Amino acid sequence: MRLWERVKKPKFYLKGLATSLPDSLGKYLPQHQPQFRGAGIRKDENVREAAAGLYTSWMRTMIVLHQQGGVTYKNVAEIGPGDSLGVGLAALLSGANSFLALDAVPTAYNLNNEEIFEELVSLFKKRAPLLSQEQCPKQRPHLKSYNFPTDILTDEKLKVFLADDRLEKIRIAIRAKGGREKNNSGQISIDYSVPWDTDASLFEYRNSVDLIISSAALEHVDDVVRTYYAANELLRDGGVIASSIDFKCHDTAGLRNGHFAYSDLEWKVVRGRSVFFINRWPHEWHIKEMKKYFTILHDDVYHHPRQNLQLERKDLAPRFSGISDEELAIAEAFIIGKKHASSNTSP
């Protein structure tokens, strides 16, 4: 590690320290990303822009799943939806009948889901193109075309999915806020489970989900082993998990993969009292854990630009010393796994 990287390290310890101080003092120190306080990511985002991003996020996943063939998604769940239910609402507009949002903190109503829904309806009705890679550089997976997928969502299908009475049922489900008082809107349901991986919650939704999606969330779950166990419990036999994972340091280090250089003790200091953080699981650890329950159908990896990779092997903390150079260079991945038949087990 270059000298200036070492000099920068205390900045990240200070970010951890700031999490233990009242805001009146903490504001004078460098701060972690606001999401780590557990209060959400982008509260002030313009609804129209947010909807276009959420629409694109769902469509990218749906298109790649379609390329795999035979993936059904009547009952969809999302791990870590963030500040809105938008991706799940787009799934409902694409023919899903139920959406189950799964999070550690209850932030999915930070944005106005009713307004986002109306924006999504308008995008579907217009068959709007998805945001391109330039417009949405952080989203994965990359696609060959960002046109509306008329081959998947044909006019015939959309006539059914966007029928007025069906849209009204979704609106009722949104207003019910996934509460226990549950909506009674016929075949459409939206549930919100927080925290979602408790035994009680898993018991309630066990074997009920066709597809679990997640975007930029599996790098944040504290207990990755429990998460894949829980995902497997929720999925029916043959169900699919499709996740986009960001392995970068999330501003916890000077180099994009600099988080692998902290010892466990240093990392505790850097995390401080953050409500959630990043779990520092590299890509290959996820794949190994997933293989306990899932067959990997697709593993699309994206690399760090070379200039961001000055971390040297000797700088790796002991627990990461076995990571290969190839793995250290992976910045993001989009992974699809299919549940093995009857693989519900104990963690």
Ligand X SMILES: C[S@@+](CC[C@H](N)C(=O)[O-])C[C@H]1O[C@@H](n2cnc3c(N)ncnc32)[C@H](O)[C@@H]1O
Assigned token pair, 68 = 């795999």
The CA distance from 25 to 17, in Å, is 11
Amino acid of residue 209: V
Q: Of the candidates 32, 140, 220, 283, which one interacts with ligand X according to CB under 6 A?
A: 220
Rounded to whole angstroms, how far apart are CA atoms 30 and 193?
Answer: 33
Geometric angle at alpha carbon 232, from 227 and 238, rounded to 5°: 150
DSSP state of 52: H
Provide the minimum distance between the beta carbon of 321 and ligand X in the complex, in angstroms, as a whole number: 27
The residue among 40 and 254 lying less far from ligand X, judged by its C-beta, is 40
Indicate whether 216 belongs to the interface with ligand X (CB under 6 A): yes
Nearest distance, CB of residue 330 and ligand X, angstroms: 18
Q: Coil, strand or helix: which one is 171? A: helix
Is the Cβ of residue 220 or residue 304 nearer to ligand X in the bound state? Answer: 220
Closest to ligand X by CB, 97 or 279 = 279
Query: Which of these ranges, 101-109, 117-125, 255-263, 338-346, lies near ligand X under the rule CB under 6 A?
Result: 101-109
Calculate the alpha carbon distances from 266 to 14, 74, 107 in Å. Answer: 11, 45, 29
Cβ proximity to ligand X: between 190 and 316 the closer is 190
Asked if 41 touches ligand X (CB under 6 A), the answer is yes
Q: What is the Cα–Cα distance from 165 to 163, expressed in whole angstroms?
A: 6
**The two structure tokens encoding residue 178:** 């996934």
Q: Looking at beta carbons only, is 223 or 312 nearer to ligand X?
A: 223
Site for ligand X in 63-92 (CB under 6 A): 79-82
Q: How far is the CB of 328 from ligand X (least distance, A)?
A: 22
CA distance 4 to 119: 46
**Residue of the chain from 64, 103, 189, 334 that contacts ligand X (CB under 6 A):** 103
User: Which stretch in 13-21, 98-106, 174-182, 235-243 sits in contact with ligand X by CB under 6 A?
Assistant: 98-106
Tokens of 146: 């960002």
Which CB atom, from 59 or from 158, has the smaller least distance to ligand X?
59
Q: Pick the binder of ligand X from 217, 235, 270, 278 (CB under 6 A).
A: 217
φ, ψ at 155 (rounded to 5°): -55, -40
Q: CB nearer to ligand X: give 57 or 189.
A: 57
Is residue 254 within the footprint of ligand X (CB under 6 A)?
Answer: no
Q: 């900045």: which residue's tokens?
A: 11
- Cα(118)–Cα(48) distance, rounded to whole angstroms? 10
Phi, psi of 330 (to 5 degrees): -85, 125
* Half-sphere exposure for 77 (CA within 13 Å, toward CB): 28
Instruction: Give 169 or 280: the residue with its C-beta nearer to ligand X.
Output: 280
To the nearest whole angstrom, how small is the minimum distance from the Cβ of residue 167 to ligand X? 24
Per CB under 6 A, 221 contacts ligand X: yes
Is 215 an interacting residue with respect to ligand X (CB under 6 A)? yes
Tokens of 69: 């063939």
Answer yes or no whether residue 35 interacts with ligand X by CB under 6 A: yes
What is the distance, to the nearest Å, from the Cα of residue 97 to the centroid of all Cα atoms in its chain? Answer: 21
Nearest-approach distance from CB 150 to ligand X, in angstroms: 26
**Minimum CB distance to ligand X, residue 36 (Å):** 9
Q: Binding residues for ligand X, per CB under 6 A?
A: 35, 41, 79-82, 102-105, 107, 215-217, 220-222, 276
